[in-house]
Amino acid sequence: CVIFAGILEVIFPYISLKKELFNLNIRGSIKKIKEIISDNIILKMVKLFIPRIWSSIIYHLSVFLDTILASLTGIVGKGALAGVYYANRVTQLPFALIALAIAPVVIVDFSIYYKEKNLDDFKKLLVFSFENIMFFIIPIASIFLFIPEAVIDVIFRRGEFDLYSLKITSSIFFFYSFGLFFFCAVKLLVSCFYSLKDTITPAKTATLSLIVNGILSIIFMFPLKAGGLALGTSISAAFNFFLLYFALKRKIGNIPLEDLKREFLKIIFLSIIIGVLSKILWTLFYFNRYLKILIVLSLDSFVFVILGYILKLRQLNYLKECFLKKK
């Protein structure tokens, strides 16, 4: 399935690219190649591409570091390596659904606004994108923080995945959840820098974050066992976020955060409520765990939407407008 998906991922962009750019005769193709060479486009691409390669290497070094530290069973406990893997997979799900859906879309508009020197709309789009990430990710992270064992239990506990595996994986998952918002926000900020044709700054901050991650993971792994590795990763993601934010602020000027702060406080308040509600409901109900998690999440969503309307949460109004437009 993975290989097949990878093949499709290459085929579809190739078809679109061929229609847009390369549906030319031989003479036209040669002319196009000469234009690319004369404009030094390839050289510019290489200069932008090298730091991106380094950023990718940093990511894999971070994974390798976690793997090495998680294999020290005498310190972090038996099964930590598998626990880190499983907990990370669950954490990556909302990251993929939200951050990886938003970042590739907005980078196009970011690039257009920056090329037109329209920094006001650039900043408005950045704030709006942050609001979207907060609206979806913070409530999810809250549920993960309040009932981590329930989430891991429903997804993984069967067969060889016993109560010990559940305990160690949910501990790691709990600490990963602290960094979920920052994982997503970093992805958005990196897209901003790429739209500014700056791939060096994200590479630098990623390198510093890797160093912080290594130091904190080693410190926390002694008192918190495997959970310390996840906490180190979460804190380093927050560190990376603030480095990128202040670097971006220096490039584009002040970012209007007044409305964003109000929405942030509303979402935090609502997220704590549904987190506590999740904990209470999960403790009260005793029927099938799959049905139980479905009911808990449904009630959480209902309460979040109702209270969100009462507090006049802007994202709910945006969603309502989009829904009515489709009708």
CA distances 79 to 76, 147, 191, 233, 322, Å, are 9, 21, 36, 19, 46
Give the integer Cα–Cα distance in Å for 173 and 86: 8
Q: What is the dihedral angle through the alpha carbons of 291, 294, 297, 301, rounded to the nearest 10 degrees? A: -130
Give the integer Cα–Cα distance in Å for 224 and 80: 12
pLDDT given for residue 201 in this prediction: 96
3-state SS string over the chain?
Answer: CHHHHHHHHHHHHHHHHHHHCCCCCHHHHHHHHHHHHHCCHHHHHHHHHHHHHHHHHHHHHHHHHHHHHHCCHHHHCCCHHHHHHHHHHHHHHHHHHHHHHHHHHHHHHHHHHHHCCCHHHHHHHHHHHHHHHHHHHHHHHHHHHHCHHHHHHHHHCCCCCCHHHHHHHHHHHHHHHHCHHHHHHHHHHHHHHHHCCCCHHHHHHHHHHHHHHHHHHHHHHHHHCHHHHHHHHHHHHHHHHHHHHHHHHHHHCCCCCHHHHHHHHHHHHHHHHHHHHHHHHHHHCCCCHHHHHHHHHHHHHHHHHHHHHHCCCHHHHHHHHHHHHHC
pLDDT given for residue 160 in this prediction: 86
Specify the number of domains making up the chain: 1
Its pTM stands at 0.88
Question: Is 212 inside a domain boundary?
Answer: yes
Question: Is 124 inside a domain boundary?
Answer: yes
pLDDT given for residue 29 in this prediction: 55
pLDDT given for residue 49 in this prediction: 81
Confirm if 182 and 241 have CB atoms less than 8 A apart. Answer: yes
Question: Is 3 inside a domain boundary?
Answer: no
Question: Is 251 inside a domain boundary?
Answer: yes
pLDDT given for residue 51 in this prediction: 86
Could you list the pLDDT tens digit for every one of the 327 residues in the chain? 667 767 777 776 666 666 555 554 545 555 655 565 555 666 667 777 888 888 888 888 898 898 899 999 999 999 999 999 999 999 999 999 999 899 988 999 999 999 999 999 999 999 999 999 999 999 999 999 999 999 999 999 888 899 999 999 999 999 999 999 999 999 999 999 999 999 999 999 999 999 999 999 999 999 999 999 999 999 999 999 999 999 999 999 999 998 899 999 999 999 999 999 999 999 998 888 999 999 999 999 999 999 999 999 999 988 888 777 765
Q: What is the dihedral angle through the alpha carbons of 227, 230, 234, 235, rounded to the nearest 10 degrees? A: 60
Question: Is 319 inside a domain boundary?
Answer: yes
Per the structure, the complete domain to which residue 161 belongs is given by 26-326
Question: Is 10 inside a domain boundary?
Answer: no
Question: Is 18 inside a domain boundary?
Answer: no
Confirm if 142 and 296 have CB atoms less than 8 A apart. Answer: no
pLDDT given for residue 319 in this prediction: 84
Question: Is 5 inside a domain boundary?
Answer: no
